[in-house]
Chain A
């Protein structure tokens, strides 16, 4: 016979245990709130406000009105007006901008003459999703920009075809292959997920099994424990990296344009950082279960706010700020820049430095948390 009172007894016991495990309870409440915030506010699959540089090689009323109209557009946010040759290209490769718009020399003259000058829209197509909307809107933006000017033009220039040409370049991924973005990104996701998860139970397992007491009664130093415990997983990270790179090259035919040395350095730093993050979690979590939950708590924003799944530039400022604190955000940029854009060490320092800072903060925090005593 099923007894209601026994069911109630089990039910009451579960409620009490749930209440005792504060962290689990907090995460159960936090996860839906976080997901609502992320999906509801932070994520925009039709990215607007893409950081853009405009290179103006001509100056005149037409150019200025074009610029003004670009400023009005929701798709692009002009962050720089490049005056020097090649400056825009450099920004594009370093990932500082998603778009480069070049107005050619003698644009005004050719426009009026009907020589149909070409405006270049160069998009960073490493993330095809992020750039597609703006690419599609390029013609529209230009047409709207010149509409008032067209009205004032001599009649012979009115009507189709427009007195200018729009050239769209999908840089670094001319065919717009999604795998070009996803596969290198997956490297970051895989390393984040597995390495943090493995190391997050490094100390909690010792705590749960009681072995920490024997460990701490020896003269071993916290830093010795930390290095000894995380080092084996460096090898795991290296193997994973090799597998993903091998698949990228041979299965998905993704080019590797940049410097292997710079890539190796960044990958090593990223692996260290993830191990440190996991180890940090293990100094906080009391049980392996809590460690898993905290790993998930890191994992969720790592996928959603890093620019892996959804365009980084399309997120609001607060979400970008969170994203900047995640190691994977920087690693993803580095991977794209090195693999697809042919970047070298100098190009990726902007992301290597934050990665190193995150690593250092985590290492210090973990060492401070892990005490030599049982207090």
Chain B
């Protein structure tokens, strides 16, 4: 990591709204081409962090560089080379697809604007519908258009704030294929998400709660960092098995994957005792297994359900 160029290199990033500290001394280092996932409950400061990195919010404290520019003093230069896809659809619904793309091409001052727009439309597969109003598009198409709009100036850094919320699984897969491609071309991506299947796409994960980074590691190291142990539970009556396991001491993750239940916890002895509860169920069986990323994420996501209470905003 150290030998690769750092696209984002910030330290001690802090943001307060009133007397609430939303982001608290946040360090972030992202090398070129990395897909960096921000995981964390609502209100944990993911959006605020992303906005500070791209200059939409001014940090109250902290320093560092983004794309080689100072995050405090050179936010305009950063903006010119960053693509930011907002959580909520933020293109103009009363402009056509083409007009939206043209608008952003011109705001970024790109040359050969018309060709860029044509290329983007062709890539989107929207050439035939270029005159359609953006507001008339379905959720999945809006999201693809939004991605096209924030990629139209060929940014080196892509910031995605819960990019596929409310998008069907097929569209989500296509979306991530595109992100992978950009990453291969050297585009760095910072993405905040709630979805496990998005999180598994990331090369590196930062887990955030109450504005603080609790875990920051390559994705493959996350399971060992979390330290979960697990059992795969089979039974003819899975509902009954789930009822018996739910809330049992030692059970920290309880997730159904098709016809099995994955039961995980950090204390393997307590977990083993809990799994005893299914004894006597028809077809009841429990096998040890090594929990992977999915279980680790479910654990992380459920650990702090919501940050709106207490310290978060």
Contact = CB atoms under 8 A, between A and B. Distances in A.
A218 B56 CA distance: 9
Interface in A165-220: 209-220
Nearest to A225: B107
B93 A209 contact: yes
Contacts of B76: 219, 221, 372
Looking at A214, A221, A374, which has the most chain B CB atoms within 10 Å of its CB? A214
B55 A214 contact: no
Nearest to A218: B107
Looking at A212, A215, A218, which has the most chain B CB atoms within 10 Å of its CB? A218
B14 to A, nearest CB: 14
Contact of A217 (B54, B77, B93): B54
Interface residues of A, number: 17
Contacts of B58: 373, 375
Nearest to A224: B107
A216 B108 contact: no
B205 to A, nearest CB: 24
Given A217-B54, A375-B57, A210 B86 contact: yes
B175 interface: no
Contacts, number: 60
Given A218-B79, A374-B51, A213 B107 contact: no
B75 A211 contact: no
Contacts of B300: none
B120 interface: no
Contacts of B206: none
Contacts of A220: 107
Contact of B149 (A214, A216, A221, A374): A214
B54 A211 contact: no
Interface in B43-57: 51, 54-57
Nearest to B93: A209
Contacts of A215: 107
B191 interface: no
B308 interface: no
Contacts of B138: none
Contact of B79 (A210, A217, A374, A375): A217
Contacts of B107: 215, 218-220
Nearest to B108: A218
A210 B108 contact: no
Contact of B92 (A211, A372, A374): A211
B86 A214 contact: yes
B55 A373 contact: yes
Contacts of B90: 209-214
Contacts of B84: 213-214, 217
B91 interface: yes
Interface string B128-170: 0000000000000000000001100000000000000000000
Contacts of A210: 86, 88-90
B57 A373 contact: yes
Nearest to B89: A210
B104 interface: yes
Contacts of A213: 56, 84, 86, 88, 90
B268 interface: no
Contacts of A212: 90
Looking at A215, A219, A220, A372, which has the most chain B CB atoms within 10 Å of its CB? A219
Given A373-B56, A374-B56, A218 B104 contact: yes
Contacts of B80: 218-219
Contacts of A209: 90, 92-93
A317 B261 CA distance: 82
Interface of B: 51, 54-58, 75-77, 79-80, 82, 84, 86, 88-93, 104, 107-109, 149-150
23 contacts: A209-B90, A211-B90, A213-B56, A214-B91, A214-B149, A214-B150, A217-B82, A217-B84, A217-B150, A218-B104, A218-B108, A219-B76, A219-B77, A219-B80, A219-B109, A220-B107, A221-B76, A372-B75, A373-B55, A373-B56, A373-B57, A374-B51, A374-B56
Interface of A: 209-221, 372-375
List 9 A-B pairs, minimum CB-CB distance, nearest first.
A214-B90, A217-B84, A218-B107, A219-B80, A210-B88, A219-B79, A213-B86, A213-B90, A210-B90
